[in-house]
Amino acid sequence: MENLDVMVLRTLLEWRQLGQKAVLVTVVRTWGSSPRPIGSIMALSESGSTVGSVSGGCLEDDLILRFGSSSGIQDGPPELIKYGVTADEAHQFGLPCGGTIELFLEFNTDVKALAELVAELDAGNLMNRVVRQEDGNVVLSRAPAPTPLRLEGGFLSSCFGPEYRMLIIGGGQLSEYLATMALFCGFDVTVCDPRLNADKQWSIPRAKLTTLMPDDAVDAFRPDARTCIVALTHDPKLDDLALLQALETDAFYVGAIGSRKNSRARKERMIRHFDQTEASLARLRGPIGVYIGSKTPSEIAVSVMAEILAVKNAVNLPPSSDVAYAKNIDVEKVF
- For 73-88, write each residue's pLDDT tens digit: 989 999 999 987 666 6
Q: Are residues 152 and 206 in the same domain?
A: no
Domain count, the chain: 2
pLDDT at 32: 66
Q: How far apart are CA 8 and CA 65, in angstroms?
A: 20
Tell me how long the chain is. 335
At residue 124 the predicted structure's pLDDT band, cuts being 50, 70 and 90, is confident
Q: Are residues 253 and 282 in the same domain?
A: yes
- Torsion, CA 285, CA 288, CA 289, CA 294, rounded to 10: -160
Q: Are residues 203 and 294 in the same domain?
A: yes
Q: How far apart are CA 13 and CA 20, in angstroms?
A: 10
Residue 136's nearest CA partner among 159, 102, 105, 115 is 105
Q: How far apart are CA 104 and CA 106, in angstroms?
A: 7
Among 12-26, 168-182, 197-211, 270-284, the range scoring the smallest mean pLDDT is: 197-211
Q: Are residues 75 and 90 in the same domain?
A: yes
> Helices 173-184 and 297-312 meet at what angle, rounded to 10?
40
Q: How far apart are CA 106 and CA 217, in angstroms?
A: 41
Q: Final residue of a domain: which of 138, 160, 182? A: 160
Q: Are residues 146 and 223 in the same domain?
A: no
- pLDDT (tens digit per residue) in 262-279: 999 999 999 999 999 999
Among 49-58, 183-192, 232-241, 284-293, the range scoring the smallest mean pLDDT is: 49-58
This prediction has a pTM of 0.73
Q: Are residues 94 and 107 in the same domain?
A: yes
pLDDT at 335: 40
Indicate if the pLDDT at residue 125 is higher than 60: yes
Q: How far apart are CA 190 and CA 188, in angstroms?
A: 7
Q: Are residues 145 and 188 in the same domain?
A: no
Indicate if the pLDDT at residue 198 is higher than 90: no
Sign of the dihedral defined by the CA atoms of residues 268, 269, 272, 278, in that order: negative
Among 8-12, 137-141, 198-202, 276-280, the range scoring the smallest mean pLDDT is: 198-202
Indicate if the pLDDT at residue 58 is higher than 80: no
Q: Are residues 223 and 309 in the same domain?
A: yes
Q: Are residues 136 and 264 in the same domain?
A: no
Q: How far apart are CA 317 and CA 255, in angstroms?
A: 16
Q: Are residues 151 and 175 in the same domain?
A: no
Q: Check whether the bond before 144 is cis (ω within 30° of 0).
A: no
**Chain mean pLDDT for the chain:** 89
At residue 21 the predicted structure's pLDDT band, cuts being 50, 70 and 90, is very high
Q: Are residues 177 and 326 in the same domain?
A: yes
Angle among Cα 183, 237, 203 to the nearest 5 degrees reads 30
Q: How far apart are CA 289 and CA 255, in angstroms?
A: 9
DSSP 290: B
Q: Final residue of a domain: which of 115, 141, 160? A: 160
CB atoms within 10 A of CB 125: 15
User: Residue 267 phi/psi, 5° resolution?
Assistant: -65, -40
- Torsion, CA 52, CA 208, CA 146, CA 283, rounded to 10: 130
State the CATH number of the domain containing residue 307.
3.40.50.720
Q: Final residue of a domain: which of 104, 134, 160? A: 160
Q: Are residues 149 and 169 in the same domain?
A: no
Domain range for 188 is: 165-334
